[in-house]
Structure 1
Amino acid sequence: MRAQRPNSREKILAAAADVARESGPGSLSLDAVASRAGVSKGGLLYNFPTKAKLMQGLVEGYLRDFEQALESANSNDNDKNPLAVYIKLSAEDCEEKQPSASWIFSA
């Protein structure tokens, strides 16, 4: 059996996010994600055994990215109130990602 490439997990997560953004969270099927990522369904299931695990991976990735952005913004702008920085980042996130990451929670 051939080992999965190190980036296959990230590739699958990116494909899942794309499918949900383009077609809506209701269209997020494992088949659609596998096809979009260019992996077999078995390859997808190797990385994410269930749709729930795939969604968990999406949420964890989103939270990790947002936390890193928040830490970076707070360390670069020590004069600002942390709450103001959080609100600014949240607003920017909604503007940049149409629809915003809130679709994750509706899938």
Structure 2
Amino acid sequence: MSESHRRKKQPERVRRQLVDVAARIASEQGVGAVTLDAVAQAAGVSKGGLLHHFPGKLPLLDGLFEHLVEEFDRALAEEMRQDPVAQGRFSRAYLRVVADLRDNPVESRQWAGLTMAMLNEPHLRERWRAWVEQRNTDYVGTDSSVSALIVRLAADGLWLADVTDCQTIDPEARKALVERLVAMTLA
């Protein structure tokens, strides 16, 4: 009996591994390099095994999107739970979670891959737009000020700078930037 027949099946672990590999390839080589063959080979699974979990490239990218957005939502909820001030709470949480992504190399790499994929895949951009619109609706009473919008857009700029590694920000300057943006949500 082959080793694969004796090995315990762990579909969630395999799915996660495939998503991680797709994110790594996208962030290191670009979304065009995320092919089913490349992901299967890098993950050490057969193409048929990959297709068992993700029947194509877009479902694989959707799997990456779902995983990262679930983690992002959890981090946002935790930040918001710890913040006693309702006004601007979502925007502060969004800013803090985005600013902290850089400190988690794996998650940062995954977001870099997904961000690059969103630039090329209208379907993923639409999913992100729907996520943003839903949060704007959810927090219309507390985070609909122009200042809150400026903070979220600045957070997106910080995110893009981190993902593309196109701007070096001194740690003290970054801390001051985040503090100033947090203050804007309280005004």
| Cα deviation code 1:56-86 (max 9, x no counterpart) | 1011111111001101111123337221111
1:102 aligns with 2:118: no
Counterpart of 1:26 in structure 2 is: 32
1:37 aligns with 2:58: no
Counterpart of 1:49 in structure 2 is: 55
For 1:53-64, list aligned pairs within 5 A. Answer: 53-64=59-70
> How far is 1:4 from its partner?
4.2
| Cα deviation code 1:38-57 (max 9, x no counterpart) | 11111000000111110110
Q: What is the RMSD computed on CA atoms of the aligned residues?
A: 2.2
Q: Tell me which protein shows more helix as a share of its residues.
A: 2
> How far is 1:87 from its partner?
2.0
Aligned partners of 1:59 and 1:104 also within 8 Å: no
> How far is 1:12 from its partner?
0.6
Counterpart of 2:95 in structure 1 is: 87
Aligned mate of 1:5, from 10, 32, 36: 10
Point out where structure 1 has 5 or more consecutive residues left out of the alignment.
none
Q: TM-score, normalised by structure 1?
A: 0.84
**Amino acid aligned to 1:82:** F
Look up the SS of the partner of 1:49 in the other structure: coil
Q: TM-score, normalised by structure 2?
A: 0.51
Counterpart of 1:14 in structure 2 is: 20
Point out where structure 2 has 5 or more consecutive residues left out of the alignment.
121-187
Q: State which structure, 1 or 2, has the greater radius of gyration over its C-alpha atoms.
A: 2
**Amino acid aligned to 1:88:** R
Partners of 1:77 and 1:104 in 2: CA distance: 32
